[in-house]
Amino acid sequence: MPGTAFTLEALKRILLEGAGASEDVDLDGDILDTDFEALGYESLALLETGGRIEREFGIALDDSALTVARTPRALIEVVNAHLSTTPAA
Amino acid sequence: MAVRSDARVVVTGLGIAAPNGLGSAGYWDATRRGVHGIGRIARFDPASYPATLAGEIDGFAAEELLPGRLIPQTDRVTRLALVSTDWAFEDAGVRPEEFPEFDMGVVTASSSGGFEFGQGELQNLWSRGGAYVSAYQSFAWFYAVNSGQISIRNGMRGPSGVVVSDQAGGLDAVAQARRQIRKGTRLVVSGGMDASICPWGWVGLLASRRLSTSTDPARAYLPFDGAAHGHVPGEGGALLVLEDLDSARERGAPQVYGEIAGYGATFDPAPGTGREPGLRKAIEVALDDAGLAPGDIDVVFADGAAVPELDRVEAEAIGKVFGPRGVPVTVPKAMTGRLCSGAAALDLATACLAMRDGVIPPTPHVTPADTYDLDLVGARPRTAQVRAALVLARGYGGFNSAVVVRACDR
């Protein structure tokens, strides 16, 4: 889906599909600035999430993107920056 | 805790998942009544395969029993292992969070790891490309995955590992757990679980050429019967809480099922050498290790391959040690199918329950061939005081293992 924006809703859906959700965390709460680790997602969960974002949105994230972007807000910004520079298919 | 090579290692908790019962109470109730769990494979359409029967576990609702984070990263076998471990801890009255994490280890056996998960990811790789393979494939398929996930979920960071020796693994793992406890680890979760009833797993099992192609669930797996013609595979197994006896007493364990009193393992000589298979020696080593004589054993849980040549080898080994019809022999796995690494762990758990209740479970549907000269416990369970049981297991390729479990006065 090149050309569309990557939203928090899309991120939540992809997190749930790829890695599930911790019972202690309400993904529908105010999570934009919560560390992924505090949301219950370790590095492998983020690797899986990144892979799913890449194939769904037709982009290629840098290897470091997922380790640098520690919160949903940061990851959404990284993905949207890619989307704005990737020509529509 | 200091190294004590003579420390007594006991079973204090049982977690069972079997085709004829989920949880030790349900399994034991079915098993002592001779209720089997073998049927036509339901998890995939087996019509195009030569063997179509298996022992499948029904009604296992992993999503209700495990955290949501664990579901996308686990194969069915790991879910069964995690839930069975929860049950074993509950049975043992152990809350792992109350133990120092380095005082607890995990040693399980595995024959195939997470086959169904691996099949799905191979299908993704093959049909859609590498980008579609789950990051969790990195460990979800792996032999050690059950030990690893049990360790992570319960905060157990002591000596841990996995043993891969097919059916013998269920006993080999328990023996390794006993070594670790004797070296000073207070508690080890051990046993085995396998569940690879999926097309990829099925093809692997078929390659052994030991599967029964019968379509009659009551006539398909007949160990020691003159009509034996291979076995039915099943899924499941058992996880056991093992502890140092003193430590179990100290914390007031609700029960001590029995002591892992003896262990012996051998490997068969190369085919064609004419030398005796290793099973008899494994039995003798286990008895010697337990300090028991053959007459002290009240029941033998046999491997029960249901391949005529292998049945003969096992009957001869039992006969040489115990004499003709010298000890009751039972094969409750005739009710579940052979569970790979889960089989002997389940037999060990069953032996614990037999000791507790004074009941030897039956071997349904089997009429033993006279030539074997075995006192096979037939279709009806037998009431008997069981103070010591011998569990036998053989793994494909030549593994022989034997464990003596003995009642433990408190």
What average pLDDT values come out for chain B (410 residues) when binned by 10 residues? 82 98 98 97 97 97 96 97 98 98 98 96 96 95 97 98 97 98 97 97 95 97 98 98 96 97 98 95 98 98 98 98 98 98 98 98 96 96 98 97 90
Cβ of A19 within 8 Å of Cβ of B70? The answer is: no
Q: Tell me, what's the ipTM?
A: 0.89
* Model pLDDT, residue B6: 83
Quick check: is A1 in a domain? no
User: What is the C-alpha to C-alpha distance for residues B230 and B212, in angstroms, rounded to an integer?
Assistant: 4
Tens of pLDDT, residues B222-243: 999 999 999 999 999 999 999 9
* Residue A56 forms contact with B (CB below 8 Å): no
- Tell me the chain B residues in contact with residue A48 when contact means C-beta distances shorter than 8 Å: 72, 134-136
Categorise residue B103: left if φ over 0, alpha if ψ from -120 to 50, beta otherwise.
alpha
Q: Which two tokens stand for residue B341?
A: 């690494």
- State the Cα angle at B40 between B34 and B44, rounded to 5°: 135
Q: Smallest Cβ distance to B134: which of A22, A48, A55?
A: A48
Backbone angles phi, psi at B298, to 5 degrees: -95, -20
- State the Cα angle at B377 between B376 and B382, rounded to 5°: 150
Task: DSSP letter for B144, please.
Answer: T
* Model pLDDT, residue A85: 82
Task: DSSP letter for A40, please.
Answer: T
Distance of CA A31 to the CA centre of its chain: 12
| All structural domains of chain B with their residue ranges | 9-250, 263-406
Q: Which two tokens stand for residue B344?
A: 């002997």
Quick check: is A21 in a domain? yes
**C-beta separation of B12 from B255 below 8 A:** yes
* Model pLDDT, residue B410: 55
Shortest Cα distance, chain B CAs vs residue A20, angstroms: 5
Cβ of B69 within 8 Å of Cβ of A40? The answer is: yes
Q: Smallest Cβ distance to B135: which of A23, A40, A51?
A: A51
Distance of CA B101 to the CA centre of its chain: 26
* Residue A21 forms contact with B (CB below 8 Å): yes
- Tell me the chain A residues in contact with residue B68 when contact means C-beta distances shorter than 8 Å: 20-23
Quick check: is A50 in a domain? yes
User: What is the C-alpha to C-alpha distance for residues B81 and B92, in angstroms, rounded to an integer?
Assistant: 16
CA nearest B236: which of B196, B200, B198, B195? B195
Task: DSSP letter for B338, please.
Answer: B
Which amino acid is it at A51? G
* Residue A55 forms contact with B (CB below 8 Å): yes
**Strand B104-109 to B161-163 pairing:** parallel
Half-sphere exposure at residue A69, Cβ-oriented, CA atoms within 13 angstroms = 21
CATH architecture group of domain B9-250: 3-Layer(aba) Sandwich (3.40)
* Model pLDDT, residue B2: 67
Total domains, chain A: 1
Task: DSSP letter for A77, please.
Answer: H
CA nearest B161: which of B130, B136, B192, B194? B192
- Number of CB pairs < 8 Å for A and B? 38
Burial string for A51-67 (b: 16+ CB within 10 Å, else e) reads bbbbeebbbebeeebbe
Quick check: is A12 in a domain? yes
SS3 at position A66: helix
* Model pLDDT, residue B3: 76
User: What is the C-alpha to C-alpha distance for residues B196 and B205, in angstroms, rounded to an integer?
Assistant: 9
Quick check: is A3 in a domain? no
* Model pLDDT, residue B1: 54
The percentage of chain A sitting over the pLDDT mark of 70, rounded to a whole number, equals 92
The CATH number of B263-406 is 3.40.47.10
Backbone angles phi, psi at A56, to 5 degrees: -75, -35
Give the domain extent around A22.
8-85
DSSP letter string, B36-67: --EEE--SS-GGGSS--EEE------HHHHS-
Q: Smallest Cβ distance to A55: which of B68, B131, B136?
A: B131
- Tell me the chain B residues in contact with residue A21 when contact means C-beta distances shorter than 8 Å: 68-69
Which of A12, A14, A27, A44 to mutate against chain B (most B CBs within 10 Å)?
A44
| CATH code assigned at A52 | 1.10.1200.10
In a structure prediction context, what are the per-residue pLDDT tens digits for chain A, which is 89 residues long? 555 799 999 999 999 999 999 999 999 999 999 999 999 999 999 999 999 999 999 999 988 888 889 999 999 999 999 998 866 55
